[in-house]
Every structure is written in structure tokens, then in C-alpha cells.
């Protein structure tokens, strides 16, 4: 069975956010698949990637360290499951430690260990790109699913800030 046919948690509500960028799909794709680009803009507002390595292939990992303005260090990783060039990236998203091990959210002990995340890229008239994030709790307990589903507003804020950073970065990426 392909991942496209797999539901993460049937009872969990998917979180979805979409943004149209004034940039061609090829450039938006590169910003997610070229580590030099990704390290330059990835993360929520107020955070900077201070270390990031990417192995872009099914089974490969993007492992990164974010540092916030107050010096807080947060590690994260994406374990790629499916990559369809210029169209779609499917991965398991989680917090991690420096060695790449999966860890709990540093401030939310009932947050799911992993989220199934799907990025899609679509052409829009005028050389623009619609980018969509679809995310859900993956193999979470009932409590983890409830926590995840209750925090869609904070997810919208976090992903919104990340996508704002990408929008600001795209002119320089050309």
C-alpha cells in the first residue's frame, strides 16, 4: 500500500493550511528541497536554523536545530516517506534530540511524537504556486490526538509564521 492510501489516525482531524506564493512552482519546490534554501528560511518567526542536514529521499531525513531569539534551542526532524518532484513531499515530522532521536515536544508532554505531514505544490495562473500543508497525528494515543486536534489555532499561527518567512525569502531565492 502506498503512503497516499494510508490514513495517519482515522479519528484525528487533519490540520490544513494553504498559501499562494508569487513565485513559480520550481522555485518554491527548491526552497523545500535544497538544504541551502531550507536552512535560510525554515522555522517559525523569531527562530533561525543554526544547523541543518538534508538527505532528500524516501527514508532520508532533514534534521535541524532552531534557535530562538532568547537562545532556546529546539531540534526537529522530517523523515521522508514519499517524494514526487515538484508535486508532493510526505514525511513524518517530530521533535528530536541532537543525535536525531525522536523526542517529546519540549513544552507539551501530550503532543504526538509524530505527525504525518503532506506538502503539495500546484501551479496557479500568473506563474504563482499554491502550497498546502496537510498534517495529522500519527499513531498517537487518544490523549495525543485530542491535544493535537485542540491546537489547530496554534498550528495555524506557527505554520503561518513559517510561510510568511518563506514569502519574504522567495524574492532573494530567485
- Tens of pLDDT, residue by residue over 51-109, are 999 999 999 999 999 999 999 999 999 999 999 999 999 999 999 999 999 999 999 99
> pLDDT tens digit string along 100-129?
999 999 999 999 999 999 999 999 999 999
Give per-residue pLDDT as tens, 15-48: 999 999 999 999 999 999 999 999 999 999 999 9
pTM reported for the whole predicted model: 0.92
Rounded to an integer, what distance in angstroms lies between the CA atom of residue 129 and that of residue 151? Answer: 27
Count the alpha carbons within 13 Å of 107 in the hemisphere toward its beta carbon.
3
First to last CA, the chain: 38
How many contiguous H segments (helices) and E segments (strands) does the chain have?
A: 4, 8
Going along the chain from its start, the domains and CATH numbers come out as 9-173 (3.30.530.20)
Secondary structure of 124-163 in the HEC alphabet? ECCCEEEEEEEEEEECCCHHHHHHHHHCHHHHHHHHHHHH
User: Between these two residues, 75 and 7, which has the higher pLDDT value?
Assistant: 75
Residues ≥6 apart with Cβ < 8 Å to 150: none
Amino acid at each position: 500500500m502506498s503512503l497516499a492510501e494510508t490514513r495517519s489516525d482515522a479519528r484525528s482531524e487533519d490540520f490544513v493550511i494553504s498559501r499562494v506564493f508569487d513565485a513559480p512552482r520550481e522555485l518554491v519546490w527548491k526552497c523545500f528541497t535544497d538544504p541551502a534554501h531550507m536552512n535560510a528560511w525554515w522555522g517559525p518567526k523569531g527562530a533561525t536554523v543554526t544547523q541543518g542536514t538534508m538527505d532528500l529521499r524516501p527514508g532520508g531525513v532533514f534534521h535541524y536545530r532552531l534557535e530562538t531569539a532568547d537562545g532556546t534551542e529546539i531540534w526537529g526532524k522530517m523523515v521522508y516517506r514519499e517524494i514526487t518532484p515538484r508535486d508532493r513531499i510526505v514525511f513524518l515530522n517530530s521533535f528530536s534530540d541532537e543525535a536525531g532521536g525522536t523526542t517529546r515536544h519540549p513544552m507539551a508532554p501530550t503532543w504526538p511524537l509524530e505527525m504525518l505531514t503532506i506538502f503539495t505544490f500546484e501551479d496557479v495562473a500568473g506563474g504563482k504556486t499554491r502550497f498546502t500543508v496537510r498534517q495529522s497525528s500519527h499513531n498517537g494515543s487518544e490523549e495525543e490526538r485530542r491535544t493535537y486536534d485542540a491546537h489547530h489555532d496554534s498550528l495555524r499561527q506557527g505554520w503561518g509564521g513559517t510561510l510568511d518567512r518563506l514569502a519574504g525569502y522567495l524574492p532573494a531565492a530567485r
